[in-house]
Chains A and B, each alone.
Chain A
Amino acid sequence: MKAYRKLWVALVVLALASPIGLYLPKIMKAGSAWGEWGVDEIRQMVGYAPAGMEKNADIWKAPIPDYAPPSQEQEPLSRLSLFYILSAFIGIAACGGGGYLLARWVTGSRGKHRA
C-alpha cells in the first residue's frame, strides 16, 4: 500500500540521520544514560562494584554491543556513525521481520483478506 511505502521511506531517513544520536551527546559532553553505567563506572561512582551486579552484568554477550562491532569503542566518531547507521538498518530489518510475523499471526485466523 502506498501509505505504507511512505512510512518505510521515513524510517530509512531516520536510520540515515541516526548518528545525530551519537554526535549530540559528544558535543554537549554528556555521559551515559542514568542507570546504564558499566561496572567500572559504578566502581568509580560509589567506590565499589556491587557483588551481584559484577556477577551478572556480562551474562549476555550481544553480537553488536552498543551498536558497533565488539571492542570498537575507541574508533573515531565518523566510523562509529557508519556502524550506527548499519545497526539502524539491521534494527529495521529485525523489528520489521518480528512485526511482520506478529501481524501474520494476528490475522492468521481471519482467512483471506482484501487489503
Chain B
Amino acid sequence: MHIPDGYLGPPTYLAAYAACAPLWAIAARRLREKLSTRRTPLLAISAAFSFLVMMFNIPLPGGTTGHAVGGVLIAIAVGPWGAMLSITIALIIQALLFGDGGITAIGANCFNIAFVMPFTGYGAYSLLSRLFSSEKGKAVAAGIGGWVGLNSAALTTALMFGIQPLLHTGADGRALYAPYPLSVAIPAMLLGHLTLFGAVEALITGLVVYFLQRSESAWILRMAAEETVR
C-alpha cells in the first residue's frame, strides 16, 4: 500500500500533499486541545507500533504481499487525529530511511494510510461498539473496524493508482506513470485486503483490544475524547 516514487504524476501527489496539510494542522490542534498528558507517550509507542506491524509482510500464496497497519487500534488509543500524526511519523521514517513508499508520495501515502484508514475504521468501530456493548462485543467491533479501515485505505490507494492512465497517457498510448487502469487496480488491491490482509488486521485489532480490556492498562482503550486535558 506504500506508493513508490514514479507511480503518481505530479497533479496527484501534489493534490495529496495539499489535502494532508490542513489535516495535519487540524490534527495537531486537536491533540493540543484534547489529548490527555498521560496519553501522550502513546503517540511514540503508536508510531513505532505501526512501523513494526507494517514490516510483517503477509503473502497471498503465489501472488502479491500485503500487511496490516494497526491504524484503527491506534485510533482507539489516541483518537483518529492522534493516529493520523503517529502513522504519519512511521510513514515518513519508512520513506526517508528505508525507501518504503516514495518521497513524492508521502502525502498520498499519509492520506490513505494515516487519514483514511483511522477515520473510516474508527468510525465503524464507534458505531458498532454502541451495538455490542459487552467486552467481547467491543473487541469484535474493533476487529471489524480494522478490516473496514484497511480496506478503505486499499481502495483510495487503488483509486490513486487507477486514475494515472486517465491523467497521463502519451500519444503512443503508453502510460507515463502507474500503467494499470481502475478496472485492474481496484480488484487487484482489494483482492488481498478484503481477504487475508484484512483478516490479519481484524485479528490483531480485535485480539489486542480483547487482552487490553482485561489488563491493568485497560484505560488505554477509553476514548481519548472522553478525557479532559490535565
Contacts and interface: CB of A to CB of B under 8 A. Distances in A.
Contacts of A65: 98-99
Given A50-B176, A52-B9, A3 B53 contact: no
A53 interface: yes
A1 B38 CA distance: 9
B166 to A, nearest CB: 14
User: How big is the B interface, by class?
Assistant: 35 or more
Contact of A54 (B6, B62, B98, B170): B6
A63 interface: yes
Interface in A13-62: 14-15, 18, 20-22, 24-25, 27-36, 39, 42, 46, 48, 50-62
Interface of A: 1, 3-4, 6-8, 11, 14-15, 18, 20-22, 24-25, 27-36, 39, 42, 46, 48, 50-67, 84, 87-88, 90-92, 94-100, 102-103, 105-107, 109-110, 113, 115
A-B pairs with the 6 shortest C-beta distances? A99-B44, A62-B99, A30-B59, A57-B6, A103-B40, A53-B6
21 contacts: A14-B53, A25-B58, A25-B59, A34-B64, A35-B185, A50-B174, A50-B179, A52-B6, A60-B95, A62-B95, A64-B99, A88-B51, A91-B52, A95-B44, A96-B44, A96-B45, A102-B85, A103-B41, A106-B40, A107-B37, A110-B229
